[in-house]
Structure 1
Amino acid sequence: MSLLNEYRIRLAQEQDLRAALEMKLQAWREAYSSFRDEGFFAHHESQLDQQLAWWERGLAGGAQFWIAETGDGKIVGLAGGTPTIEEDQDTGVDIELGVLYVLKEYYGTGLAAHLMDTVLSRRDALLWVLEGNARAINFYTKHGFVPDGTSEELVGSWAGLREQRMVRKHG
């Protein structure tokens, strides 16, 4: 049986946050291990309670994100969108895919596309992706996103890396 049929997607609730963030941290290890060292991951894992508080405030303020969970309740993916911030309004789109992560065992199953479609539907959108992350860039390109030439240096624990903006327009 395909892994694609072994999950369901639903809106996340407050009680899902810790498991969703733990899954995100695992997904970071799987996706970014060639970009960051162990200290990076250990630092972010040690900040889980602060991240949890931030996400709880977001949900309380009306933010929404979706999770993919297996039949036994294990979270294997998450995605969310946000309104476009002022600095990105030159793109002419009103939604940013702010987060999209699936566990490595679900790469190539269609789960990430399903999550992305749940958040964005067929809307015009933008996202920021780590330069050099060929897997992610290829995925987004396959789904109609193109780099628009805008990039930025990252700061904090991501310092030394750059993100590029990708935009999808249907018309």
Structure 2
Amino acid sequence: MSLPPARLPVRVREMALADCDRVSRIRVRGWQTAYRGLMPQPYLDAMDVTADAERRRALFARTSDGVVHLVAEDESGEVVGWACVGPYRDGEARTADAELYALYVDTGRSGAGVGQALLGESVRRCETAGQARMLLWVLKGNTRARRFYERAGFAPDGAEEPFVVEGVPVPEVRYARPLSG
């Protein structure tokens, strides 16, 4: 039996353009690990860190309208996690609620408190902005992520969304949490 990684101090800060390569590595490896068995394996295998980093740089350069990208660094300054939060997307419209668009942790740091630190800072920023509720979408079959969010006070609100990857349905469920903003 292996023990979970030790909880190490992490520092959460706003992402910089220079972080895009590392964030893409974390994101792609996160998908390939967390979604194994939930999405078609050829799709996961074809994910490319370099292409993702190029896309991430382009998105980062034009992101605004309340979208915040955060990274978590370990004690040596290495980026070990990434989160992105902003206004809730209802189709093309943005609402007054907050949405956690993404949260990924370096696969070797899972269970070390990195995700909690990123989620905590995301919630804090949304509360400070006066948002009353945070929403997020998670793959229905991703029980590990669902437990993580449930421990943080999120609960499924009954909304489901069809998500199709290479012709395979991969349903998502929406989670919500009230904020004290």
1:22 partnered with 2:25: yes
How far, CA to CA, are the matches of 2:148 and 2:53 in structure 1?
A: 31
Following superposition of structure 1 onto structure 2, how do residues 1-171 of structure 1 map, counting pairs within 5 Å?
3-45=6-48, 47-59=51-63, 63-87=67-91, 94-121=97-124, 123=127, 124-157=133-166, 159-169=168-178
Deviation of residue 20 (structure 1)?
0.9
Deviation of residue 88 (structure 1)?
10
The answer (yes or no) to whether the contact 1:30–1:103 under 8 Å persists in 2 is: no
How far, CA to CA, are the matches of 1:158 and 1:81 in structure 2?
A: 28
Question: How far does the alpha carbon of each residue in 1:50-93 deviate from its partner, in whole angstroms, 9 at most, with x for none?
Answer: 4234323334777421111223443211111010123599xx86
Identical positions, percent:
26
Greater percentage in helix? 1
Give the stretch that moved more between structures: 116-125 or 58-67. Answer: 58-67
How far, CA to CA, are the matches of 1:118 and 1:158 in structure 2?
A: 36
The answer (yes or no) to whether the contact 2:134–2:179 under 8 Å persists in 1 is: no
Question: How far does the alpha carbon of each residue in 1:29-70 deviate from its partner, in whole angstroms, 9 at most, with x for none?
Answer: 221112234421233216325423432333477742111122
Give the stretch that moved more between structures: 53-62 or 98-107. Answer: 53-62
Greater percentage in strand? 2
- Normalised by the length of structure 1, the TM-score is 0.82
User: Which residue identity lines up with residue 111 of structure 1 in the other structure?
Assistant: V
- Return 5+ residue gaps in structure 1 as ranges: none
The root-mean-square deviation of aligned C-alpha atoms, in Å, is 2.8
State the aligned residue count. 168
Give the stretch that moved more between structures: 145-154 or 155-164. Answer: 155-164
Question: How far does the alpha carbon of each residue in 1:106-156 deviate from its partner, in whole angstroms, 9 at most, with x for none?
Answer: 222222111001111274211000001111111111111111111011134
How far, CA to CA, are the matches of 1:40 and 1:140 in structure 2?
A: 26
